[in-house]
Amino acid sequence: MTDRIKRFESVALPHLDAAYNLARWLTRDPHDAEDVVQEAYLRALRFFEGLREGDARPWLLTIVRHVCYDWIRRNRPQEVVGDIDEEDLRERADVDSSIGQNPETLLLRAADRAMINRAIEALPVAFREVLILRELEELSYEQIAAVAGIPIGTVMSRLSRARAMIRKAVEGEKGS
């Protein structure tokens, strides 16, 4: 075993759960997530020299995200359009994002995990990814902007809309 692979393993393997979690949420399938993560790690290993000092997690998640999007384009092209149109997303979100700011109601809903998980799975991928990166990986807005290749303002507005959409979906499901 080479020093290079030892260094790579020590840098990249601690973030395997993060990589898998993102891939699992974006592909919504455990086997596809494994394929994506393996491809991403092989890609990361090839371009390892490009990583300078600093947190390897956003770097790795960026690669995982790229591979996920390639996978989605190939297997579920209807889920992504080439260039995401913010206006279009706004219309699809079609909810009052201000309700995403109210903590009590969401705390209440937190009791129902299955319902919330289903609601997140149903989000358009552009919203799902910022939500997962923020809520589960706890990346900063700056880091999410870098990983997803979008402005910080867009990160914040997508996040707030994503929360509002979950709220709406969960309320709808409970109401029905």
Partner 1 sequence: MSGPEDLERLALKDAVTYYRAPSPFARRLRKTLRASDTERRRPFLAGHWWGFAASFACGALLAWGVTFTHKVNDDSQLTSELVGSHVRALMENHLTDVASTDQHTVKPWFAGKLDFSPPVVANAAAGFTLVGGRLDYVDKRPVAALVYKVRGHLINVFVWPSTQDDQSLQSGTQQGYELVHFRRAHMNYWLVSDLNRSELTGFAEALANAAAQS
Contact status: 142 vs partner 1 (CB under 8 A): no
Quick one: 39 or 129, whose CB is closer to partner 1?
39
Q: What minimum distance in Å lies between the beta carbon of 21 and partner 1?
A: 5
Stretches 52-60, 69-77, 88-96, 146-154: which one binds partner 1 (CB under 8 A)?
69-77
Q: Specify the residue for token string 């706004």.
A: 90
Angle between helices 3-12 and 56-75 (to 10 degrees): 80
Quick one: 89 or 166, whose CB is closer to partner 1?
166
Classify residue 170 as exposed, middle or buried by CB count within 10 Å of its CB (0-12, 13-18, 19+). Answer: buried
The type of residue at 59 is W
Site residues (CB under 8 A) for partner 1, limited to 77-96: 77
Helix, strand or coil, per DSSP, at residue 83: coil
Contact status: 7 vs partner 1 (CB under 8 A): no
88 alpha carbon, distance to own chain's centre: 19
The type of residue at 55 is D
Rounded distance, CA 78 to CA 1, Å? 43
Contact set with partner 1 (CB under 8 A): 1-2, 4-5, 8-9, 13, 16-17, 19-21, 24-25, 30-35, 37-39, 41-43, 45-46, 67, 70-71, 73-74, 77, 100-103, 106-107, 109-113, 116-117, 120, 132, 134-136, 138, 163, 166
